[in-house]
Structure 1
Amino acid sequence: MAEPLKHLIGAHTARDTANAVARAWGKFDHQGFLADTLPALETLELMQRGQCIADALHRHLPEDFGSAAAILHACLPTPNHTGLSGWALLSFNQYIAAHGRGELKTALGLLKALTPHFTAEFGIRPLIAEEQEAALAIISDWVTDANHHVRRLASEGTRPRLPWAMRLPALVKDPSPILPILEALIDDDEDYVRRSVANSLNDIAKDHPDLVADFVERHKDGASKHRLWLLKHASRTLIKKGHGKALANFGFAALTDVTVTLALTSERVTFPGDLGFEISLSNNGSAARPVLIDYAIHHKKKDGALSPKVFKGRSLTIAAGESVMMAKRHAFRPITTRAYNAGGHRLEILLNGTSVASADFDLVMPQEATA
């Protein structure tokens, strides 16, 4: 069995931190720091463990943030010594986020130096939220940095809806200030950076779908294969939701000359079980048609209303006059993220984001099947 995540930080982390800080600053109270951290760590979860060490750093480092930042900077790896890296630097993030406000240039400089050795995404976001304009002015210069971790921090740290991190409400509302950063990194040499740009655009698409669809349209002509991948990955939420312009950006236009028939293998599914279905497509036009086939299951809620969830199918090109058939099985199994309810459900077929066929079926729960 895998170790719990909280063990990524523990007594060994506190001791490594104490040793590193003591080497960097002769006045450091090594034993006092350990007395502040070791007794508490065992009862805490991962982020709390990092915060415990960060709080102890605050108590034992100089009160002046600039002086403390210089000591922490000296704890990072250099060509001459290994220094601290990995999860030991989570507490540095937390310390900087809490105490670097008002010292923006110093705080961001320390995070920039830290990020090649551990993510600085958590530390940078409170600083952006506090002083967005000034912070972005500094971060914008990172897009040309020689280190790809620093370039990625420019895009990843500014994501409006970064998972597992605080949201940036001002950028959720108006993401235009970070678009120049994303544009500057759209053709970065590193996939690691380009993927971050795509994820940031996908974040933005959840609140500003037309903005991202327009961004993709402006940047797709003459794009390299790497940029095209980025733009399509950035459009994944829009494509899944059937956004017309996002689909058209990748050649999936409305299909007026493609006919669809849908057949269920059974109109009754006993839980746990599978819904089997077949889709037949015929291109009655005079030209080949790119087709994106998705499907939605409209799940029955407790109040009887139906709630759709879209699932990815496949993409293909149907030649003029050609007919194709696709068979699919959708599994209904116990999962922690959904409570299933017995009764009428619906299967809906989406071609290039447009609903073209549907069929109703009943989901029977185990107690009903044996009644």
Structure 2
Amino acid sequence: TTPPMAEPFKTFINPEVVTRAAGHLARHDPGFDGDAFCAAVVPHLAALELKARAMCVADALERHLAADFEDAAAHLERALRPLNAPPGTGGLDGWFLWGAGEFVARRGMAQPVRALSCLREMTQRFTAEFAIRPLIAQHPALVFDTLRQWVHDDSEHVRRLVSEGTRPRLPWGLQLRGLIADPSPSLPLLAALQDDTSAYVRRSVANHLNDIAKDHPVVVAAWLERHLPDASPHRRALLRHASRTLVKQGYPPVLTLWGRAEPLHGTATLALAPSHIALGDDVALTITLRSQAGEPQALTVDYVVHHVKANGQTSAKVFKGWETRLDAGQSLTLRKRHPVRPITTRRYHAGEHRVVVQVNGKAVAESAFHLTVGSPAAPG
């Protein structure tokens, strides 16, 4: 039988979360009608996915918070969880603040300085990475002036917002088309944060650079050329994560900078077992590399699964494998179990799924497994 899917993301904003938030808002402003607010949100949640639930919360806040933005922002700030209180206690925090941040972005567009001040408080309880983006689009000079100050903020959450909020292609967020076309305004901010003391901040910088790599690989290659020599272990790890898309694509300048430009000098085989699986099963990959070189080889070994789509065509997805070394004349066996299970971000379809092994960005071996969806697998 097919195992149950993980709980949907949409349940992060649920009737209990909304009711609890209404209580916090009412406690800090007796004029706030918590019952009416809940009535405007809760009955609609079941039919909505996560982002739509956050927008429903924002719609209701527009109707039930004070008409004056300064008053509404102050009300939201008073209702926030105190920073010294544990998450989930004593005030607004968590996923409810996605909708609250959207409210600030909508109603604060004409008062961007006040809106940014409010988002600085919110991001320390959840994140304001979605809410700040419309402000960047409408008031780029003002927001970037503020971000240049925030790179020195005492809060790692505020410093992370500098990077995460300006990511050109943030998942679930408004695409910043100006920064997709020209990422240069963000680069000084990333340079200031790439050696941040917080791993949380550095991870965001890596993801931001990886976003840039999708549109401007030359920019990221130049960044590596400048910042990789003599990098600290923390910075080196950040830059490796920032390079992941270009490494998977086999982009030669980046492979060269990581010492992975040379193709495999030797042979490679891939075995998959079983050859037939049902949705919910795993496929075992066994990769054997044999050196025919007279010196050690530094290898990045990834694999590509060509997922079958509804129309029978395929869509390739690269999965991270191994960073390894193959000594002269050595044989090396690498093993991995690849789960083929229901997830919210991919729909599986029956058929033959090709798996291709790539070494230093170049295909070296392939095999295939047959996936059955909705009925038992054939024997392998």
TM-score band, normalised by shorter chain: 0.7 to 0.9
Task: Give the corresponding residue for 1:279.
Answer: 288
Higher gyration radius (CA): 1
The answer to whether the 8 Å contact 2:209/2:220 transfers is: yes
Give the Cα–Cα distance (whole angstroms) in 2 for the partners of residues 115 and 342 of structure 1: 45
Q: 1 CA distance for matches of 2:133 and 2:62? A: 19
Q: 1:354 to 1:19 in 2, by over 3 A?
A: same
Q: Is 1:288 aligned with 2:317?
A: no
Which residue of 2 is the match for residue 159 of structure 1? Answer: 167
Asked whether 1:248 is paired with 2:272, we answer no
What is the deviation of 1:17?
0.8
Of 196, 206, 214 in structure 2, the residue corresponding to residue 206 of structure 1 is: 214
- Equivalent runs, 1:9-28 vs 2, <5 Å: 9-22=17-30
Secondary structure of 2:154's partner? coil
Identity, % of aligned positions: 37
TM-score, normalising length from structure 1? Answer: 0.82
Structure-2 residue corresponding to 1:65? 69
Aligned to 1:38: 38
User: Relative contact order (alpha carbons < 8 A, sep ≥ 6): 1 or 2 greater?
Assistant: 2
In the alignment of these two chains, the number of paired residues is 356
The AA in structure 2 aligned to 1:107 is: A
> Does the aligned pair in 1 maintain the 2:163–2:208 contact within 8 Å?
yes
Q: Which residue of 1 aligns with 2:329?
A: 322
Greater shift in the superposed pair: 112-121 or 177-186: 112-121
Corresponding residue SS for 1:325: strand
Match of 2:266 in 1: 259
In structure 1, distance between residues paired with 2:59 and 2:119: 18
Partner of 1:197: 205
SS in structure 1 of the partner of residue 44 of structure 2: coil
SS in structure 2 of the partner of residue 322 of structure 1: coil
1:339–1:49 Cα change, 3 Å: closer
Q: Name the SS for the 2:126 alignment partner.
A: coil
In the TM superposition, residue 210 of structure 1 has moved relative to its aligned partner by 2.1
Q: Which of the residues 306, 313, 317 maps onto 2:321? A: 313
The 1:49/1:9 distance shift into structure 2, 3 A limit, reads farther
How far is 1:202 from its partner? 1.2
Query: 2:3 is matched with which residue?
Result: none
Residues 117 and 264 from structure 1, CA distance in 2 versus in 1: closer, same or farther, beyond 3 angstroms?
A: closer
What secondary structure, in the 3-state scheme, does the structure 2 residue paired with 1:350 have?
A: strand
* Larger deviation, residues 291-300 vs 132-141: 291-300
Structure 1's unaligned 5+ residue stretches are 23-28
Give the aligned residue type for 1:36: A
Aligned-partner SS, 1:107: helix
User: Structure 1 residue 6 and structure 2 residue 10: aligned?
Assistant: no
Distance 1:17 1:253, change over 3 A: same
What displacement does 1:195 show?
0.8
TM-score, normalised relative to structure 2: 0.80
Post-superposition Cα deviations, 1:88-113, rounded to whole Å, max 9, x if no partner, equal: 54443122111111211111122113
> What is the alpha-carbon root mean square deviation over aligned residues?
3.3
In the other structure, the counterpart of 2:129 is: 121
Deviations 1:286-343, CA, capped at 9 Å, x for gaps: x322111223344566766554332332121122x33123154665745452444545
The 1-side partners of 2:350 and 2:52 are apart by 38
